[in-house]
Amino acid sequence: MSSTENHPIANNFIRHIIADDFASNKHNGKVATRFPPEPNGYLHIGHAKSICLNFGLAIENNGSCNLRFDDTNPEKESVEFMQSIETDVAWLGFKWSDKYHASDYFEQLYNYAIQLINQGDAYVDDLSPEQIRQYRGTLTEPGKESPNRNRPIAESLDLFARMRAGEFADGAYILRAKIDMASPNINMRDPTIYRIKRAHHYRTGDSWCIYPMYDYTHCISDALEGITHSICTLEFEDHRPLYDWVLDKLQTPCHPQQIEFARLQLEYTIVSKRKLAQLVNEKHVNGWDDPRMPTLAGLRRAGVTPAAIRDFCERIGVTKQNSWIEMAVLENCIREDLNENALRAMAVLKPLRVVIENYPEDQVEQLQVSNHPQKPELGSRTIAFAKVILIEEDDFALVPPPKFKRLIEGGEVRLRGSYVIKCHQVICDEAGKVVELRCSYDPATLGKNPEGRKVSGVIHWVSEQHSIPAELRLYDRLFCQPNPDTLENFLDAINPNSLEILNGSRVEASLANAKAGTGYQFERTGYFCVDYDSSAEKLIFNRTVTLRDTWAK
């Protein structure tokens, strides 16, 4: 199998378009793309698909890719969101060629609007929003022309200047493109291109009280930046005629080609900034970077690496068909990456005390263990073995289920990287809960089974005295239904068990100085990452993902 067959993105339809454009020299052999987020929220995994696509095409064609903030809705936009977007794009591993803001073009956009009015291609209207809706018509009925449609050019010019000057109340007037009220495409029925809105803009402050609409802004911004391929999601297909109309009317120096692809829809989560903002604002999660969020900030905090996300984006490919991607696809990319790269460590989530009766009271052995069984280059570390150790509550059973390979009364088990122990006595509290095991160890079993001896079960452990306490946050999927977005109220599908906090966990001493953001495989339990709030006084680990897919039926 060739590498392109492994990675559907390598052969996507957009690549074919670009190859054809090279062949016909359509854009003078140039590829210039852009990633155009609106700074009204944090980037999510869906944006990652668009980022990998736009930056990826630029990289492989020796072209350029700009980061452009589509900031024409001042009420919802902020510097915090803008900065988070820059952080996340860079974290994903991409460098923008230039960084722009649609607000950089406000003056040019205004002048282009005047040009449209002068050409008779735009007019100022004063219909109420309700009337505009009525006049627009429906999918089956043509629209009706506004009585202001044929307002003299000079009058529109005068009104537009006064709109800018702040003479009118919000919503009193709009500027509309004069296209075709009978068009079967509603987007072409004299769409609004400017509105009056007194809102403080995070970059331009109060210098404007009129703001251009997205469709009008986007195509001109693309043209001003010399974009060749303007890649967007499928819902903009019906807007393409408007994109082209504006650029044809204005005869901008270049006319980018709009290409639509299917947006990422991922099961068991939400990829809509509006709904993600609701989760944050209503405190269903602890902020945009909550590890359960599908935001890049959340994934990062959970311990997902940029490489895993890029791999995911390659695997899902780029098509024109909307489809749902299973969460397991993302989780498997994360597992494969961490399995390959994360250091191993031992942590006991829910400790059970084990006293090794025949082990000398004050003896401590420093056992050498590998940091990664398949990667000797990642070295090894020592972990302390002593008379009292802690094992996982679940690794002992008074009444073992069938095929139980771990420790039982009278049974033997191997401690990973250490000795075989045998359980002689079980101590329970008054309620019958097992609180301590009395065991013995076999000194002949360090690191290997002696001839003819077979001990199949291997469990993890830490020394009671030498291990350190840690808080473990066990994150799970945020939603317990695959398509929360299709429900009337997506909040109904929130998984009530998406976070379990363990406070009694113990981790091996080598993790005392683990740095925030470092990922580990806690042997036999899952992949974990040091949280940003972790400190030497209080270690905190977030579970990135379980070792195996526990959601699979």
Q: Give least dist CB 265 to ligand ATP, A.
A: 7
Q: Which is nearer to Mg ion, 47 or 460 (CB)?
A: 47
Asked whether 549 and 331 are in contact (CB, 8 A), the reply is yes
The H or E element containing residue 223 is helix 214-224
Handedness of CA 471, 472, 474, 475 (dihedral sign): positive
38 is catalytic: yes
Using CB atoms within 10 Å of the CB of residue 403, give its burial: 0 to 12 exposed, 13 to 18 middle, 19+ buried. Answer: exposed
For the segment 24-43, give every residue that binds Mg ion (CB under 5 A).
38
* 100/112 Cα distance (integer angstroms): 18
Q: Give least dist CB 264 to ligand ATP, A.
A: 4
* 411/64 Cα distance (integer angstroms): 65
273 is catalytic: yes
Q: What residue type is 217 in one-letter code?
A: T
Name the closest residue to ligand ATP (Cβ). Answer: 46
| Residue 50 binding result from ligand ATP, Mg ion, none, given CB thresholds of 5 to 8 Å by partner type | ligand ATP
Q: Which is nearer to ligand ATP, 304 or 470 (CB)?
A: 304
Q: Which is nearer to ligand ATP, 12 or 50 (CB)?
A: 50
Q: Which is nearer to Mg ion, 38 or 412 (CB)?
A: 38
Using CB atoms within 10 Å of the CB of residue 232, give its burial: 0 to 12 exposed, 13 to 18 middle, 19+ buried. Answer: buried
Contacts of 301 (CB under 8 A, 6+ apart): 289, 290, 291, 529, 531, 532, 542
Q: Give least dist CB 36 to Mg ion, A.
A: 8
Name the closest residue to Mg ion (Cβ). Answer: 38
The H or E element containing residue 196 is strand 192-196
Contacts of 533 (CB under 8 A, 6+ apart): 540
End-to-end CA distance of the chain: 30
Strands 192-196 and 174-177: antiparallel
Q: What is the dihedral of CA 132, 138, 143, 147, to 10 degrees?
A: -20
| Residue 272 binding result from ligand ATP, Mg ion, none, given CB thresholds of 5 to 8 Å by partner type | ligand ATP
Q: Which of 30, 34, 38, 508 is labelled catalytic?
A: 38
| Residue 264 binding result from ligand ATP, Mg ion, none, given CB thresholds of 5 to 8 Å by partner type | ligand ATP
| Residue 249 binding result from ligand ATP, Mg ion, none, given CB thresholds of 5 to 8 Å by partner type | none
Q: Which of 49, 273, 301, 387 is labelled catalytic?
A: 273
Q: Which is nearer to ligand ATP, 236 or 541 (CB)?
A: 236
Taking Cα atoms as reference points, which of 530, 518, 548 lies closest to residue 472?
A: 530
Q: Which is nearer to ligand ATP, 43 or 420 (CB)?
A: 43
Q: Give least dist CB 512 to Mg ion, A.
A: 45
Q: Give least dist CB 317 to ligand ATP, A.
A: 12
| Residue 220 binding result from Mg ion, ligand ATP, none, given CB thresholds of 5 to 8 Å by partner type | none
Q: Which is nearer to ligand ATP, 232 or 354 (CB)?
A: 232
Q: Give least dist CB 89 to ligand ATP, A.
A: 11
With vertex at residue 100, the alpha carbon angle to CA 99 and CA 105, rounded to the nearest 5 degrees, is 165
Q: Which is nearer to Mg ion, 38 or 125 (CB)?
A: 38
Q: Give least dist CB 233 to Mg ion, A.
A: 9
Count of C-beta atoms within a 10 Å radius of residue 416? 16
Taking Cα atoms as reference points, which of 360, 381, 348 lies closest to residue 443?
A: 360
Q: Which is nearer to Mg ion, 43 or 545 (CB)?
A: 43
Contacts of 128 (CB under 8 A, 6+ apart): none
- Provide the token pair at 105: 């073009």
Q: What residue type is 352 in one-letter code?
A: L
* 423/354 Cα distance (integer angstroms): 9
Q: Give least dist CB 232 to ligand ATP, A.
A: 5
Q: What is the CA radius of gyration of the chain?
A: 31
Q: What residue type is 81 in one-letter code?
A: F
| Residue 37 binding result from ligand ATP, Mg ion, none, given CB thresholds of 5 to 8 Å by partner type | ligand ATP
Q: Which of 249, 263, 275, 353 is labelled catalytic?
A: 263
Q: Give least dist CB 76 to Mg ion, A.
A: 11
Q: What is the dihedral of CA 14, 20, 25, 29, to 10 degrees?
A: 40
| Residue 531 binding result from Mg ion, ligand ATP, none, given CB thresholds of 5 to 8 Å by partner type | none
The DSSP secondary-structure symbol of 186 reads G
The H or E element containing residue 281 is helix 273-281
Q: Which residues lie near ligand ATP (CB under 6 A)?
A: 36-38, 46-47, 49-50, 70, 232-233, 263-264, 271-273
| Catalytic positions | 38, 263, 273
Residues that bind Mg ion (CB under 5 A): 38
